[in-house]
Amino acid sequence: MAKRMGRSGGARPKDRTTLAGAGKKMRDCPKASGVQDEDPVGRLKRNERDSPRDEQAVEFLGAKTGVGTMTEPKRGGEFDIAVVGGGLVGTAVAWGLARTGAKVAVLDEGDVAVRPSRGNFALVWLQGKGMGMPEYAGWTRASTDSWAGFAEMLLEQTGVDVAFRRPGGFMPVLSQAELETRANAMMRLHNQPEMVRYPYEVLDRAALLKEMPFIGPEVVGGTYCPLDGHCNSLRLLRALHTGLERSGVAYRPNHRVERVEPRDGGFRLTTAAGEIRAGKVVLAAGHDSARLAPMVGLEAPVRPQRGHVIVTEKTAPFLHHPTGYVRQTDEGGVMIGDSFEEAGFDTTLQPGVSSAIAERAIRFFPLLAKLNVVRSWAALRVLSPDGYPIYEQSATAPGAFVVTCHSGVTLAANHALTLAPMIAAGGLSDAFKVFSARRFHVPQAA
Amino acid sequence: MFRRLPDIAGDRVSFTIDGRPAEARSGDSVAAALLANGVAACRNTPVSGAARGPYCMMGVCFDCLVTIDGTGNRQGCQVRVAPGMAVETQDGKREAGR
Ligand SMILES: Cc1cc2nc3c(=O)[nH]c(=O)nc-3n(C[C@H](O)[C@H](O)[C@H](O)COP(=O)(O)OP(=O)(O)OC[C@H]3O[C@@H](n4cnc5c(N)ncnc54)[C@H](O)[C@@H]3O)c2cc1C
Ligand code: FES
């Protein structure tokens, strides 16, 4: 049968095959275990209502910060700020920087780079996030709250509709034990001091059936968070790039940055296509920030974590809410994720893993079995040791910032509307100390 | 729009197009049978709704998608027509349950 190919983030094209076929293959495969849930946390029970302090915290860390202005004179070069990396993180920051009136350049390596911005699952997701770092829950919540306005601004500026929807997200589960584990984890998450709470519900099978009458017989229930949503993340990247162009940002592809050095009160960047000077530099180079950060007294100890994604042919809309592992896109294709694998920089598609995620998706939603698969791929998450973002300004080379995170789609609104204005204005507020890489220096308990 | 070549033989095969009785020759692909019956547009695209019909006839363009015996999004040019087969033109996206 003919092949239909697509490429994305190290994608490997794959024969057109039905999901049921993929699932069958998986059952014979001894190595089909690289599958976990989207969020390692879990879920819970009551519908927690926001308390007044939540609002404060959201405002404090969140998107309500005003747009900063360039207060410092331009020093050290042709650009006020050079952003290294044109993925979702770099373009969101650059887009926000441009709004402050700064003269910005975005330097990107090119199509050979490992780039999850082209291969992700497109959730704008809150449910389950923040265990061990409640500030991250607040930061994520603020971004999901700002997302609709952010999408609106992109549409107005560029005409690109990034298809943001926030109908609430489900995490269906296949056993009672799993449901309890999730419920307890969500409870522990929300019992943390300083937690920015968000509403969620634990649903039994009957309640889930009302929303999704087509769930499989093994589904015992699930959790629901009304603040979860999703978008079309390829269009998000396109909108950001179009927006950069419209606001006069210099986008320079094939400018892999080899070296960054502080020079004359600014920075000198040595790239594959010549030298660039800028007053400030923002390192948002995904995996390569690990190499670049130490050059300016920063750290970004990120590692690749592989995830597989499968996309089916377009079908009539039936799945009206995203779930952590299956969602229907605005155009009708069904995306199936996601696996968590430690495999270095290898983006080779593993049939065993695709089969495992296909098989699990069919257990949740048996009607998927008949659908044809049009593409599948593996992409590499940019993961810090604890999975939380790193936002920091260099102490030894002020004006150099590092920005990296695991959920660049979800956090795009915050990066553009909150983080960028602070960078433009000269520094991150104290609330960001928690996101410093210095947290990794704490000696490991024996 | 299309006429059969004079030297193409084959037994007559009865099937249906959107429930209407139609006739093909054994060996015809579903796409060829549709064209021979004057059905040039066999579907509308899922996103813009534009009309599409069999184009490459060799399995690469996916423009010939139809519903065959209840299963949506089948490539008409890659399936041989069979007696009693129910072929349906497809309006936009396939239904997930079919
Ligand atoms: C399978 C999978 C599913 C995911 N699902 C979701 C999800 O549902 N929701 C969500 O919020 N997030 C999700 N993510 C995460 C999200 O995709 C990433 O957080 C985001 O794409 C990271 O963007 P980035 O710009 O940091 O990295 P990248 O996409 O790697 O971009 C970095 C850019 O820097 C460039 N570059 C690299 N080195 C240099 C250099 N030396 N000089 C110049 N340029 C350089 C590259 O060309 C690249 O364009 C998922 C990730 C994966 C892998
Ligand atoms: S006509 Fe091109 S794939 Fe069938």
Interchain pair A315, B94: CB under 8 A: yes
Give the pLDDT of residue A70. 42
- Residue B87 phi, psi (nearest 5): -105, 130
Residue A48 inside a domain? The answer is no
Q: Which range is least confidently modeled, A76-80, A162-166, A255-259, B32-36?
A: A76-80
Interchain pair A332, B46: CB under 8 A: yes
Residue B49 inside a domain? The answer is yes
Structural contact between residues A400 and A295, judged by C-beta atoms closer than 8 angstroms: no
Structural contact between residues A163 and A235, judged by C-beta atoms closer than 8 angstroms: yes
Co-location of A78 and A110 in the same domain: yes
Give the pLDDT of residue A288. 97
Whose atoms come closest to the Cα of B65: which ligand?
2
Co-location of A419 and A318 in the same domain: no
Domain boundary among A231, A263, A287: A231
Residue A108 inside a domain? The answer is yes
* Number of folded domains that form chain A: 3
- Convert the pLDDT of each residue in A318-369 to its tens digit: 999 999 999 999 999 999 997 999 999 999 999 999 999 999 999 999 999 9
* Number of folded domains that form chain B: 1
B59 lines ligand 2 (CB under 6 A): yes
- Convert the pLDDT of each residue in A375-397 to its tens digit: 999 999 999 999 999 999 999 99
Enclosing domain of residue A85: 68-120+234-301+386-437
The CATH number of the domain holding residue B69 is 3.10.20.440
Give the pLDDT of residue A111. 85
- Residue range A207-222: mean pLDDT, rounded: 97
Residue of A370, A371, A373, A374 to mutate, interface with B, max B Cβ within 10 Å? A370
Strands in B71-75's sheet, in edge-to-edge order, are B20-25, B12-17, B86-88, B65-68, B71-75
Would you say the ipTM is above 0.85?
Answer: no
Give the pLDDT of residue A26. 39
Co-location of A432 and A295 in the same domain: yes
Residue of A314, A328, A362 to mutate, interface with B, max B Cβ within 10 Å? A314
Residue A185 inside a domain? The answer is yes
B54 lines ligand 2 (CB under 6 A): yes
* pTM of the shown model: 0.85
> What sign does the CA torsion over A70, A74, A76, A78 have?
positive
From the CA of B34, how far away is ligand 1's center (Å)?
46
Judging by DSSP bridges, how do beta strands A333-336 and A303-314 pair with one another?
antiparallel
* Residue A119 banded pLDDT, cuts 50, 70, 90: very high
